[in-house]
């Protein structure tokens, strides 16, 4: 009999109970003990669900009030000193301060967990960082599970992955140097777990699927030699890709077992099975923890049988990775079309599938005959379903030519025409798209969905939100406006609901970060756009505004990445189909007179394959998809893109290849670090580095934003610099947003004044806007049109031109 286990379960709750509890606690509506009771109940329910699905070993430590990496940071006593907590182990309030920022300190950085849409809190390391046993939470949860008579398997992020995913906060030091200080604390944790009677500990080391440098690989030997001696048996888990390159190393480590992902890395299975050490179990991740399609049980059973002939009782069965990345339970989806529902499996169903494979292994294939027959019928139906193929989409893709992927003229020509049309001041201010999703807006959407609000009232509520957003932006003095995205539940789901080829769920929530969740739509068939999706809202917003309003779309790669994607054709093919649909929308927006259109691609980096060898291919089709979506417009239509939540330095050439006229990009949390890469790469087009960390309720002062902009000016030519927040403002409240935007506009104005007086000192009136123009849009303060026409004059002779590398000195500070 194979041991079945789960690497982790969705912690947010099938009805997002943890989200409700967290937000109630943060807003003072419930107390700490209520929050802790919600956490306890969720853990118990999740262990029960897993146990009832037939799982032998349940994970403990996969629960977190915010993030599992942050849990490791507080468990390892590695709280950044800047929070000034002293020697005290952080309580939950302090834990939240690390995640969300405090009165005096910005939050710790957050970034994508490998190629998923989950965000972890990035550990901060200094040369003198020390570690010590911190919070007791893990040990308490182990006792909790044991008291409920579950067989607990604590889950820890392993030391190498923990260090690798952290960030060195000072130059000239390598975080691997901290390993000798880290290992003893891990050993102490393991000893504590042993003392609690724990037999197996899962050490997640997904960093092993990356292209790790040799010194990091050597670190595994050093760490696990010591940890193996500390007590419980270690199951070292890799996932998200193949670890075949490290098979020899992993087999050689003194751990009691390995877990590998047989879904994302099927090629590694024979590599691991070959000469597999007799003293280790091998856990095969047979059920896809990253997607929602039913498992091909026949195939999974065949693979398990092959493995069992080699391993016997040493074969374990599991999902490919933690089930954090899929929704909890398909049972809730009573509104989903039954045909499509029959194709799917969420977390609970996936564990049941695993139990079925285990039963087939134990009792023989006949014992699961009826499950296999149902399975074959469902897979056959799906392959033949009319919902899957649309010949018109295929035909349209076949007709595309090279010209469909290219703008008409180069950026230097386009930008001059766009500046002429938009008449924005130098250092133009803009926002990323969304404004606060107020309780009223959310309630109207919920009531409309439930049929309790008629369409006319619903639309008027949304129009009112648009009018208010425009009014506030004009009052604040922002330059390029947005409609605020009030009508959108989510930047991907909203489009998924309107595109053919997609279906969406009612409760298919997946945690994105902290209390925030997303409901990824499911791509079941060929994608097309039956009708315009956003034109009416943007046109309405433009009619309310004296300044230009940006069209706001989500790009094809992000829609792909943040949806559950069909597994019956390459991702690249689906991306191009989505791109065509977005292109249709872009052209309709242009036709409606929209002068600037933003196509968000925050997920382009996240989609980058984990192995370097796969990256060029991905980037080639991802760039192609964006260009297909964006290239049909005239030269004077300005295409913006926006990126956030990831480290973009390593894909800058591809970002430049997108050929967007303007990119707004998250940079404030990392203090503008990213911009050095923009300078070194000589990024050619306009850039808006974020100056406001929108993840924190903290409102940065004008001076703070100004300092960031000054830093940006050192690396980006001022005439190519935009001023904007890091990302959309939907998660914030209006009072914070208005204050922060006021500070941002003031910061931009200060820069403009310096710029003006700088130009004035040099007596160059042509740096100022030509008076009395009668453009479609009101002209804001000092127009970019004179000074920033791509022909740098002597007035800013020490400022680099668009053609020169990087940026230049900021207009000098005035004392």
Ligand X SMILES: CN1c2c(nc(N)[nH]c2=O)NC[C@@H]1CNc1ccc(C(=O)N[C@@H](CCC(=O)N[C@@H](CCC(=O)N[C@@H](CCC(=O)O)C(=O)O)C(=O)O)C(=O)O)cc1
Question: Does 112 belong to an annotated binding site?
Answer: yes
Indicate whether 323 belongs to the interface with ligand X (CB under 6 A): no
CB of 651 to ligand HCS, least distance (A): 17
Q: Is 434 annotated as a binding residue?
A: yes
Q: Determine, following the binding rule CB under 6 A, whether residue 516 of this chain makes contact with ligand X.
A: yes
In sequence order, the β-bridge partners of residue 284 are 260, 317
One of 517, 655, 694, 795 touching ligand X (CB under 6 A): 517
Cβ atoms < 10 Å from Cβ of 254: 14
225 contributes a contact to ligand X by CB under 6 A: no
Helix (H) or strand (E) holding 642: strand 638-643
Placement of tokens 């929602």 in the chain: 292
User: What is the CB-side half-sphere exposure of residue 358 using CA atoms within 13 A?
Assistant: 25
User: Which lies closer to Zn ion via its Cβ, residue 301 or residue 741?
Assistant: 741
> Is 167 known to sit in a ligand binding site?
no
Query: What is the phi-psi region of residue 16: left when phi exceeds 0, alpha when psi lies from -120 to 50, beta otherwise?
Result: left
Residue 773 is among the residues annotated as catalytic for this protein: no
Chain residues in the site for ligand HCS (CB under 6 A): 432-434, 491, 552, 600, 602, 642, 644, 727-728, 730
Binding ligand X (rule: CB under 6 A), the pick from 385, 412, 569, 731 is: 731
Query: Would you call 20 exposed, middle or buried from its count of C-beta atoms within 10 A (0-12, 13-18, 19+)?
Result: middle
Q: Which is nearer to ligand X, 291 or 356 (CB)?
A: 291
Q: Which is nearer to ligand X, 443 or 612 (CB)?
A: 443
- The DSSP bridge partners found for residue 599 are 553, 641
Give the one residue of 38, 71, 117, 322 binding ligand X; rule: CB under 6 A. Answer: 117
- For residue 602, state whether it binds Zn ion (rule: CB under 5 A): yes
Residue count (the chain): 815
For the chain, the distance separating the N- and C-terminal CA atoms, rounded to the nearest angstrom, is 77
512 binds ligand X (CB under 6 A): yes
Which member of 316, 537, 540, 645 binds ligand X (CB under 6 A)? 645
Strand intervals (E) in 30-168: 58-60, 110-112, 119-121, 124-125, 152-157, 167-168
Q: Is 519 in the site for ligand X (CB under 6 A)?
A: yes
> Which of 76, 78, 347, 518 touches ligand X (CB under 6 A)?
518
CB-side exposure of 127: number of CA atoms within 13 Å?
Answer: 4
Of 61, 232, 602, 811, the residue at the interface with ligand X (CB under 6 A) is 602
Residue 490 touches which member of ligand HCS, Zn ion, ligand X, none, C-beta under 5-8 Å by kind: ligand X
Tell me which of 9, 276, 562, 618 binds ligand X, using CB under 6 A.
562
Closer of 154 and 484 to ligand HCS (Cβ) = 484
Q: Does 489 bind ligand X (CB under 6 A)?
A: yes
Q: Cβ of residue 509: shortest distance to Zn ion, in angstroms?
A: 20
Strand ranges (DSSP E) for 482-595? 500-503, 510-513, 516-518, 522-528, 550-554
Could you tell me which of 382, 384, 357 has the C-alpha nearest to residue 371?
357
Q: Is 19 annotated as a binding residue?
A: yes
Q: Are 506 and 333 in contact (CB under 8 A)?
A: yes
Asked whether 801 and 792 are in contact (CB, 8 A), the reply is: yes
Q: Binder to Zn ion among 727, 747, 751, 787 (CB under 5 A)?
A: 727
610 binds Zn ion (CB under 5 A): no
Residue 731: name its binding partner from ligand X, ligand HCS, Zn ion, none (Cβ under 5 to 8 Å by kind). ligand X
- Alpha-carbon distance of 213 to 653, in angstroms, equals 23
Element (H, E) at 688: strand 686-689
The reply on whether position 644 binds Zn ion by CB under 5 A is: yes
Which residue matches tokens 């009395």?
Answer: 772
CA-based angle 97:102:104, to the nearest 5? 145
183 binds Zn ion (CB under 5 A): no
Alpha carbons 637 and 287: distance in angstroms, whole number = 46
Q: Pick the closest to residue 21 from 229, 109, 13, 389 (CA basis).
A: 13
**Separation CA 769–CA 426 (nearest Å):** 10
Local structure of residue 310 (DSSP, 8 states): H
Q: One of 695, 743, 773, 798 is an active-site residue; which one?
A: 695
User: Minimal distance in Å, beta carbon 275 to ligand HCS?
Assistant: 47
Q: Which stretch binds ligand X (CB under 6 A): 370-378, 405-413, 514-522, 646-654?
A: 514-522
Active-site amino acid positions:
695
Interface positions with Zn ion (CB under 5 A)? 602, 644, 727
Interface positions with ligand X (CB under 6 A)? 19, 117, 437, 442-443, 445-446, 489-493, 512, 516-519, 562, 602, 645, 731
The binding site comprises: 16-19, 112, 432-434, 485, 516-517, 562, 600, 606, 642, 644, 666, 727
The binding site for Zn(2+) comprises: 642, 644, 666, 727
The binding site for L-homocysteine comprises: 432-434, 485, 600
């Amino acid at each position: 009999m194979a041991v079945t286990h789960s690497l982790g379960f969705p912690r947010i709750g099938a009805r997002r109970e943890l989200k409700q509890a967290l937000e109630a606690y943060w807003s003072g509506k419930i107390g700490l003990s209520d929050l802790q009771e919600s956490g306890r109940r969720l853990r118990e329910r999740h262990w029960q669900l897993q146990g009832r699905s037939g799982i032998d070993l349940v994970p403990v430590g996969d629960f977190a009030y915010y993030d599992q990496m942050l849990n490791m940071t507080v468990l390892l006593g590695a709280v950044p000193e800047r929070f000034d907590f002293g020697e005290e182990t952080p309580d939950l309030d302090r834990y939240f301060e690390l995640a969300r920022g405090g009165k005096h300190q910005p939050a710790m950085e957050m970034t994508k967990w490998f190629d998923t849409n989950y965000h972890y809190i990035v550990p901060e390391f200094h040369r003198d960082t020390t570690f010590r046993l911190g919070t007791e939470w893990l040990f308490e949860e182990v006792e909790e599970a044991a008291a409920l008579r579950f067989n607990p398997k604590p889950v820890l992020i392993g030391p190498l992955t923990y260090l690798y995913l952290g960030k060195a906060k000072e130059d000239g030091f390598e975080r691997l140097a901290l390993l000798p200080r880290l290992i003893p604390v891990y050993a102490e944790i393991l000893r504590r777990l042993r003392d609690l009677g724990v037999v197996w500990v899962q050490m997640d080391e997904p960093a092993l699927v990356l292209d790790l440098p040799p010194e990091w690989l050597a670190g595994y030997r050093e760490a696990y030699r010591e940890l193996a001696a500390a007590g419980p048996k270690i199951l070292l888990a890799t996932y998200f890709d193949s670890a075949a390159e490290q098979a020899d190393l992993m087999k050689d480590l003194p751990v009691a077992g390995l877990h590998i992902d047989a879904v994302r890395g099927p090629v590694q299975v024979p590599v691991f099975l070959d000469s597999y050490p007799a003293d280790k179990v091998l856990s095969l991740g047979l059920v896809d923890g990253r997607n929602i399609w039913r498992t091909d049980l026949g195939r999974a059973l065949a693979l398990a049988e092959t493995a069992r002939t080699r391993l016997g009782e040493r074969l374990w069965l599991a999902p490919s990775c933690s089930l954090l990345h899929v929704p909890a339970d398909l049972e809730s989806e009573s509104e989903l079309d039954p045909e499509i529902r029959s194709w799917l499996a969420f977390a609970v169903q996936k564990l049941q599938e695993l139990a079925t494979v285990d039963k087939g292994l134990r009792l023989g294939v006949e014992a699961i005959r009826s499950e296999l027959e149902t399975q074959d019928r469902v897979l056959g139906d799906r392959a033949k379903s009319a919902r899957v193929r649309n010949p018109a989409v295929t035909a349209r893709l076949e007709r595309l030519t090279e010209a469909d992927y290219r703008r008409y003229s180069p950026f230097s020509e386009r930008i001059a025409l766009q500046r002429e049309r938009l008449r924005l001041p130098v250092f133009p201010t803009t926002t990323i798209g969304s404004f606060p999703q107020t309780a009223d807006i959310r309630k109207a959407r919920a009531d409309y969905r439930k049929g309790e609000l008629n369409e006319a009232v619903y639309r008027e509520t949304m129009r009112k939100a648009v009018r208010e957003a425009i009014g506030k932006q004009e009052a604040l003095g922002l330059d390029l406006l947005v409609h605020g995205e009030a009508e959108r539940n989510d930047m991907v789901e909203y489009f998924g609901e309107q595109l053919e080829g997609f279906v969406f769920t009612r409760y298919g929530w997946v945690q994105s970060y902290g209390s925030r969740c997303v409901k990824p739509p499911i791509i079941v068939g060929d994608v097309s756009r039956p009708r315009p999706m956003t034109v009416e809202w943007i046109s309405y917003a433009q009619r309310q505004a004296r300044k230009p309003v940006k069209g706001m779309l989500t790009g094809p790669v992000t829609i792909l990445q943040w949806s559950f994607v069909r597994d019956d054709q390459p991702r690249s093919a689906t991306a191009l189909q989505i791109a065509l649909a977005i292109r249709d929308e872009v052209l309709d927006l242009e036709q409606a007179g929209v002068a600037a259109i933003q196509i968000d691609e925050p997920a382009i980096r996240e989609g980058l394959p984990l192995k370097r060898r796969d990256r060029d291919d991905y980037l080639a089709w991802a760039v192609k998809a964006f260009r297909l979506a964006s290239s049909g417009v005239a030269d004077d239509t300005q295409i913006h893109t926006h990126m956030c939540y990831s480290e973009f330095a390593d894909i800058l050439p591809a970002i430049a290849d997108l050929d967007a006229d303007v990119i707004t990009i998250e940079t404030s949390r990392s203090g503008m670090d990213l911009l050095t890469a923009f300078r070194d790469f000589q990024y050619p087009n306009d850039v808006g580095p974020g100056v406001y960390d929108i993840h924190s309720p903290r409102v940065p002062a004008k001076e703070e934003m100004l300092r960031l902009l000054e830093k940006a000016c050192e690396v980006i030519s001022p005439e190519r610099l935009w001023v904007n927040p890091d990302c959309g403002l939907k998660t914030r409240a209006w009072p914070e947003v208005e204050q922060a935007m006021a500070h941002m506009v003031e910061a931009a104005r200060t820069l403009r004044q310096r710029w003006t007086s700088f130009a004035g000192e040099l007596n160059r009136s042509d740096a100022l806007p030509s008076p009395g123009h009668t453009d479609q849009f009101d002209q804001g303060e000092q127009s970019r049109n004179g000074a920033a026409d791509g022909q740098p004059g002597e007035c800013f002779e020490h400022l680099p031109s668009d053609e020169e590398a990087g940026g230049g000195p900021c207009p000098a500070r005035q004392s």
